[in-house]
Amino acid sequence: MTAEFARAEWERAVDALRDARLLIVHGGFDSAASCAYYAIFHAVTALFAIEGRTFAKHSAIAAAVHKDLVKPGRWPIDLGRDFTFCAELRGVGDYGTDVRVDQVQASEAVASANRILLAVRDGLPSDYALSQTD
């Protein structure tokens, strides 16, 4: 993948994280959880794109996070948990009928997403000057 694609994905990640933060302020907790997930999805997509890898399914990128980032020690186990938490909460936010995301969960998802974006940014080669997450 090209550097331009990775940078575009990174910008989408930063935008989604910003949107998640704004949605919490306005009480959009389901949508905030979804945006937090898409922030990590785009950030990880950027990271893997730099390595020449792409994925067609959300489940494939989740598997790669655990197999290629957490298991070999590139990321701490806690970041793997953060990724899984955001992915599962997105399911509640996007598809839940009886259960809704509450403010505490949405805030935890945003904090998890922030940690993942920082890990992605800090783990990139120095020639990838990416914008800050906050």
Residue 18 forms part of a structural domain: yes
Residue 52 forms part of a structural domain: yes
For residues 64 and 32, give the distance between their C-alpha atoms in angstroms, rounded to a whole number: 24
> What is the DSSP code (8-state) at residue 44?
H
Chain mean position to CA 6: 14
Residue 128 forms part of a structural domain: no
Judging by beta carbons within 10 Å of its beta carbon (0-12, 13-18, 19+), is residue 131 exposed, middle or buried?
A: exposed
Residue 132 forms part of a structural domain: no
Domain count, the chain: 1
Q: What percent of the chain clears pLDDT 70, i.e. is strictly above it?
A: 93
Give per-residue pLDDT as tens, 24-73: 999 999 999 999 999 999 999 999 999 899 998 999 999 999 999 999 99
Chain mean position to CA 1: 19
Contact 22, 98 (CB under 8 A): no
Residue 134 forms part of a structural domain: no
Residue 9 forms part of a structural domain: yes
Q: Report the CATH number that the domain containing residue 72 is assigned in CATH.
A: 1.20.120.330
Residue 131 forms part of a structural domain: no
For residues 94 and 66, give the distance between their C-alpha atoms in angstroms, rounded to a whole number: 23
Residue 13 forms part of a structural domain: yes
* pLDDT exceeds 90 at position 2: no
Number of helices (H) and strands (E) in the chain: give both, helices first.
Answer: 5, 0
pTM of the model: 0.91
Element (H, E) at 18: helix 3-25
Range of the domain at 12: 3-123
